[in-house]
Amino acid sequence: MEMDGNRSAGRTGRGRLRLAVTVVLASTLLLTAACSGGDKPSWQGGGETESTTQSQAPAPALSTVAVTSPAADAKSVEIWSEVKYDSDDPANTDVVVTNAKGTEVKGTVDKDKNVWVPSDSLAWNTKYTVTATTPAADGKNNTTTSSFTTMKEPSKVVRVTSFMGDGQTVGVGMPLIMKFGRSIPEKYRAEVERRMTVTAKPAQEGTWRWISATEVHYRPKTYWKAGTEIFYAVKLKGVEIGDGWYGRSNLTVDLKVGRELIMTVSNKTKKMTVKENGKVIKTIPVSLGKPSTPSSSGTMVVMEKKAHTIFDTTDEDPVNGYKTPIDWAQRITYSGQFIHAAPWSEGKQGRTNVSHGCVNVSEKLGEWLFNKTLMGDVITVTGTEEKLKNGNGWTDWNMSWEEYKKGSYLN
C-alpha cells in the first residue's frame, strides 16, 4: 500500500508539473499576442506597428528656376537683349531686372515663352542683375540671380530721323516717313520694321513700305480717318543694322490728322473739285501742263507749302529755263509740279492747258486754297498725257493696297 501511495504521489507531482508548464506556455502566448497588437503572430502577418502600417508621403518637390540667357557674367551684351529662363512653374515665375543702382528696369514677361523683354534699350556699358523667383511647395520662394554687362557704345552708329514732329496736324493722305543715315541691307530690314510701331486711335490697318535702302514709309489701308491720333515709336538704339553698324537713338512722334480734304482735278473739264469731309466746298478752274510739258495723272499729296517763292529752272535748262516769282505754291511732286497761283494764265484757266506741268489757279483762289490745305492733303489728277511715276513725290496712294504691302519685309 505504501508503494502504491508513492506511485500515486509521483503521478500527481508530474501532473502538476505538466499543468504548470502548460500554464506558463499559455501565458507566454497571451503575452506575445498582447504585445503584437493582433491575433496573429508576427510570422503570420501580425506584429505591425502603427508606424509601419501608414505609408510615408513623399517630400514635396521644389520648383526650380534658372536664367539661361544672357549667360552668367556675360560681357558686351547687346542693349536690346532679352532675358530667357527655365522654370518648373512658369505661370508663377516672376523676373525682375535691376541696374547697378538697384533700380528696376521696365520690361514685360512672356510666361508662355519664358522670356523677359525690355521696354526700352538698356544703357551702354552697364551691369544688370536678373532675379527670377518661383514659389516652392513649402511656402517659401526659390530665387536665383544672374548678372550681365552690356556692350560699350559703338563708334559706327546710324542716324534715324522722322519727317514729322510732335504736335503737327496733317492731311488724311500723310505717310509716316523715316530716313536712315546709311543704306540698310535687306537682311536687316525686317528687324528694323519690327522696331518701328504705329498706334492709331481709332485703330486702322496699315503697313511700312521700303521706298529705298535709306527711306521707309507707312500708310493705312485707306486714307486716315479724320481726327485720328497717331503715335509712332522707333526703337533702334543699339540695334544692329548691318556690317557692324548700330542704330544711334530712339524717337517717338505724336501727331493728329485733321479734317478730310480731297482735291480732284479733271483734265477733261479743266476744273478742280474740293471736298471737305465728303462735301463739295469749292470748284476751281485750272490750267494744267501743255502737251509738251504735261501734268502727271495720279494720286499725290501736298508735300510742301510756300506762300511766296521763286521758281528757278535755269540750272536745269540754261537756254529755256526761267525765274518766276510764285504765290501760294504747294508742291506735289519731286520733279517740280505744284499747285500755285498763276495770274498770267487766268484767262486760260478752265479752258486750256498752258503750264509747265503745274496746276495753275487764280491768285484769289490760290490764296483761298493755300489757307485751307494741310501737308498730306490728297490731290488726284486724271486724264493727262503722262502717268505719275511712283517715287516722284509721296506716291504712297498711287498704288493699290495689295501692291503697297509688297514693299514690307514683314508681309
Q: Answer positive or negative: Cα dihedral of 15, 17, 21, 27.
A: positive
- Mean pLDDT for the chain overall: 87
Q: What is the DSSP letter of 335?
A: T
Q: For residue 107, what pLDDT band results from cuts at 50, 70 and 90?
A: very high
pLDDT tier, 58 (very low <50, low <70, confident <90, very high otherwise): low
Pair (291, 244) in one structural domain: no
Say whether both 281 and 315 belong to one domain. yes
The pTM (predicted TM-score) of the whole model is 0.78
Which set of grid coordinates corresponds to residue 377? Answer: 492733303
Whether omega for the bond prior to residue 70 falls within 30 degrees of 0, making it cis, is yes
Residue 300: which domain range? 261-401
Domain boundary among 150, 171, 194: 150
Q: How many domains does the chain have?
A: 3
* Bridge partner residues of 141 (DSSP): 135
Residues 242 and 331 in one domain: no
- Residues 306, 206, single domain; the answer is no
Do 373 and 268 sit in the same domain of this protein?
yes
Query: Do both 325 and 371 map to the same domain?
Result: yes
Would you say residue 127 has pLDDT above 80? yes
pLDDT digit string (tens) for 182-213?
Answer: 999 999 999 999 999 999 999 999 999 999 99
Q: What is the CATH number of the domain that holds 253?
A: 2.60.40.3710
**Residues 244 and 280 occupy one common structural domain:** no
35 is a domain residue:
no
My answer on whether 233 and 193 are in the same domain is: yes
Query: Does 104 reside within a domain?
Result: yes
- Tell me the backbone φ, ψ of residue 391, rounded to 5 degrees: 100, -10
pLDDT of residue 32: 40
Look at residue 43 and tell me if it is in a domain: no
Burial per residue of 116-149, b for 16 or more beta-carbon CB atoms within 10 angstroms, e otherwise: bebeebbeeebebebbbbbebeeeeebebebebb
Q: Beta-strand (E) ranges in 159-278?
A: 160-162, 168-170, 176-180, 196-201, 206-212, 215-220, 229-235, 246-247, 250-257, 261-266, 271-276
Take residue 106 and report the three cell numbers written for it: 521696365
The CATH number of whichever domain residue 391 belongs to comes to 2.40.440.10
| Residue that finishes a domain, picked among 106, 124, 150 | 150
Q: Are residues 282 and 213 in the same domain?
A: no
- Cell 533700380 sits on residue: 103
End-to-end CA distance of the chain: 131
What cell was used for 299? 494720286
- CA distances in angstroms from 183 to 22, 78, 395, listed in the order given: 111, 21, 21
The region of weakest confidence among 72-81, 132-141, 215-224 is 132-141
Q: How many other CB atoms sit within 10 Å of the CB of residue 385?
A: 16
Based on the domain organization, do 182 and 252 belong to the same domain?
yes
Give the mean pLDDT of 12-17. 44
pLDDT in tens, 271-304: 999 999 999 999 999 999 999 999 999 999 999 9
Give yes or no for residue 116 having a pLDDT over 80.
yes
What band does 322 get if pLDDT is binned at 50, 70 and 90?
confident
Q: Is residue 203 part of a domain?
A: yes
Question: CA-CA distances (angstroms) from residue 269 to 286, 332, 370?
Answer: 9, 21, 22
Residue 313 has a pLDDT of 77
**Cα separation of 398 and 97, whole Å?**
47
pLDDT at 239 exceeding the cut of 50 = yes
In-domain check, residue 28: no
Note whether 124 and 242 are same-domain residues: no
Residue 235 is assigned to a structural domain of this protein: yes
Residue 85 lies in a domain: yes
Q: Please, which pLDDT band fits residue 88 given cuts at 50, 70 and 90?
A: confident
Residue 42 lies in a domain: no
- For 6, the enclosing helix (H) or strand (E) is helix 2-36
Residue after which a domain boundary falls, among 113, 132, 150 = 150
Dist CA 267 CA 252 (whole Å) = 41
